[in-house]
Chain A
Amino acid sequence: MKGSLFLSLMQFALAKQTARERFKYVLLGMAFYPFLSRDNSARAKGGDDSTSSQAGDDIYPLF
């Protein structure tokens, strides 16, 4: 799972058209990797999308 996220991020960066953009997206990918990895894990377990302080509330159904 983590390996595939890393691969996705590299493919994502390499798909950019200029060297500057590719470099930017590699940096962003590295910076955001922990958050993306956590989001993916949470989704896989059926939990919240994010473990930030504003936890998701069940909103449906209302009655």
Chain B
Amino acid sequence: MTSGKAPKLLTTGDTTCYQFDAQMGFWGVPSLELEVCYDKQPSILVQHNADGNRDTNSALKSDEKSIVCFGGSHTWGGGVQQGLRYTERLADQTARRVFNLGHCSLGLDQVCLAMLHKSAKYRPEIIIVEQYPWAVHRILNNYVNGYVRPYFYINSRQELKLQKVPTLAKYKTFRRLIGTYYAFRKELREFQSGIDLKQGYDPLADPIFLFWKTRQYDAMYSLLDKILSVMADYCRQNGIKLLFGLGAIHQQFGPKSKSELVDYELPRRRLIECLERNRIAYVDMTDAMMTSHSEQDPVIFADGHINTKGHRIFSEVLHGSLLEKGWVIR
């Protein structure tokens, strides 16, 4: 405990640990130290370093190269103590410096931008991107948790373009105005595609899993494909080995869907198609997570985030993959 104060209760969408970032929309508050807890879970200590990442401040030696991990709240380690995440375990297993640049609600578009603009400082030899396939939809959501996100789009000439964060988004009032417009526009486009994520939303029947909505998401996967191309090109240009770690989706831990037309594997298959098309290596955690999971000894918390056991399995599978590829020697 940092002090005698009660831990701060964090709920979905809480941005206590985040602040405005001109490039990413939001990023971690630098040098933060806070005891937090999630509903029905023990409290955890959150410590952000000077870069705003939930990581230590230790620097690299002059000739040292690192492993950099990007991802969302699973990588940031929601509900898990700092030393027990897959990144720290991977550091122990490989005897390499592993940097954790994971942040809650981060989309693959922000991961791409962070890769381009933030990763060089850490001299990565390997970049790992953690992504559970449901989260790919974040590249369509331009306003999240009160922050305006930068976003990519494909124009009618099939060019990938970046809409940067507007300068005015630095101010909360303008952020709300711009964000309200982005949210309205997104909801309108979904309505025009026959998708409704507000009224009667059922996570077990999220449109991204629905076979008959597949075509409505074609544009999203085309956009994703181009974003992945940028990541792959950047890594190839800079001699960096890129590996995606695909997490298991929360819905897969529950009862099977009642219809074959509701396919929890659908976003995973499409993400894998995009990764393979761009010749990006990946390792799928689903089998390892599902076989290790039980009601008595789960790998996830009730909200679907991987717990300490889940992080252990994640690091073991990642480490195994890195060894198999010859990217690490231990």
Contact = CB atoms under 8 A, between A and B. Distances in A.
A complexed with B: yes
Interface of A: 8-9, 11-12, 15-17, 28-29, 32, 35-36, 39, 43-50, 52-54, 56-63
Nearest to B187: A12
Interface residues of B, number: 29
Contact of A49 (B153, B157, B191): B153
Contact of B160 (A12, A16, A29, A59): A59
Contacts of A9: 188
Nearest to B233: A62
A58 B188 contact: no
Interface stretch (B68-76, B162-170, B250-258): B162-170
Contact of B167 (A28, A50, A54, A61): A54
B156 A36 contact: no
Contact of B234 (A35, A52, A58, A62): A62
Interface in B15-58: none
Interface in B139-155: 152-153, 155
B229 A35 contact: no
Contacts of A15: 191
B188 A46 contact: no
Given A49-B161, A57-B164, A59-B230, 18 more contacts: A12-B192, A15-B191, A28-B180, A29-B184, A32-B181, A35-B181, A49-B155, A53-B166, A54-B163, A54-B165, A54-B166, A56-B161, A56-B163, A59-B152, A59-B160, A60-B159, A60-B230, A62-B230
Given A8-B188, A36-B188, A49-B161, A60 B233 contact: yes
Interface of B: 152-153, 155-157, 159-167, 180-181, 184-185, 187-188, 191-192, 199, 226, 229-230, 233-234, 237
Contact of A32 (B157, B160, B163, B185): B185
Contacts of B161: 48-49, 56-59
Contacts of A53: 166-167
28 contacts: A8-B191, A8-B192, A12-B192, A17-B199, A32-B184, A35-B181, A36-B185, A36-B188, A39-B185, A44-B156, A47-B155, A49-B155, A52-B166, A53-B166, A53-B167, A54-B163, A54-B164, A54-B167, A56-B162, A57-B161, A57-B162, A57-B164, A59-B152, A59-B161, A59-B162, A60-B230, A60-B233, A63-B237
